[in-house]
Amino acid sequence: MTADSRPRTALDLTAMKAAGRRIVMLTCYDALFARLLDSPDVDVLLVGDSVNQVLAGQDTTLSATLDQMIYHAAAVRRATRMLVFVDLPFLTYQVSVEDAIRNAGRVMQQTGANGVKLEGGEAMAPTVSALVERGIPVMGHIGLTPQSVHALGGYRVQGREADAATRLLADAPALEAAGACAVVLELVPAALAKRISESLTVPTIGIGAGSACDGQVLVLHDMLGLNELFEPKFLKRYAELGRTVREAAHAFADDVRSGRYPDAAHSFE
């Protein structure tokens, strides 16, 4: 770990769990926000395929492309030297291990990211292992996996039924054994997330998975109150920037229409 205690490699995440230090992760899609977040307060930036919904206006993450993820991840990397992980989009790693290696390698090569994240449990363990063996750090993701939203019956909590909980309890150690450096738990009952977290050496990072995870992640725009229509139970807003943006636009429009802007102070002689 460096002097400011921020992680610089994927191995630092396991060290943070061993030290009992909670991991703070936020999604980020552009250089402007990456620069603002580049401080010891945040440990990891995730360039999530949620960009397809948050910035591109799509209903799901499914139509996100590899080029799209590379574009946003490269922008984030240009503005920060902190730990950056990138989501591999739908069908860039599920078809074959060879595809996964090629596409994850392209992400690493063209963005300068520190690792990739992919969805799925035991079934994806061979892919995770193949990537790790080739020097590509991998973060796993189980529970509600947005790329499988149609198969899961929508965006709902996973692991409430006994058989589903059993699967998650098997998925997490399978990912760890394959070499994953961390596992995201999304929309998982808090008690189950606690059991999973306690069973692993690598950290869990929760979103809608209770307080016992080794870290937490939120979508930056949700946390800032910019995505006003998104109000899930797990989300805590730390600002109301959506309201601020509207108020600023109203003030600007009022100044323009009244002739108050631009005034002499904002004009050139």
Domains along the chain with CATH numbers: 11-238 (3.20.20.60), 241-269 (no CATH)
Q: What pLDDT sits at residue 5?
A: 73
Asked whether the whole model's pTM tops 0.85, one would answer yes
Give me the pLDDT at residue 4, please.
Answer: 65
pLDDT at 6 over 90: no
With bands split at pLDDT 50, 70 and 90, how would you rate the model's confidence at 17? very high
d(CA 128, CA 125): 5
With cut-offs at 50, 70 and 90, classify the pLDDT of residue 219.
Answer: very high
CB-based contact 43:1 (threshold 8 Å): no
Span 53-62, average pLDDT: 97
Give the CA angle between residues 132, 133, 136 to the nearest 5°: 40
pLDDT at 170: 98
Alpha carbon of 219 to those of 77, 155, 223, 237: distances in Å? 17, 15, 6, 10
Helices (H), the chain: 11-18, 31-37, 51-54, 66-79, 97-111, 125-133, 162-178, 190-199, 220-223, 241-258
Active-site positions? 186
Average pLDDT, the chain: 97
Query: Is 50 exceeded by the pLDDT of residue 3?
Result: no
Helix (H, G, I), strand (E, B) or coil at 206: strand
b/e map 192-209, b = 16+ CB within 10 Å: bbbbbbeebebbbbbbbb
1 alpha-carbon distance from chain centroid:
22
pLDDT over 60 (residue 79): yes
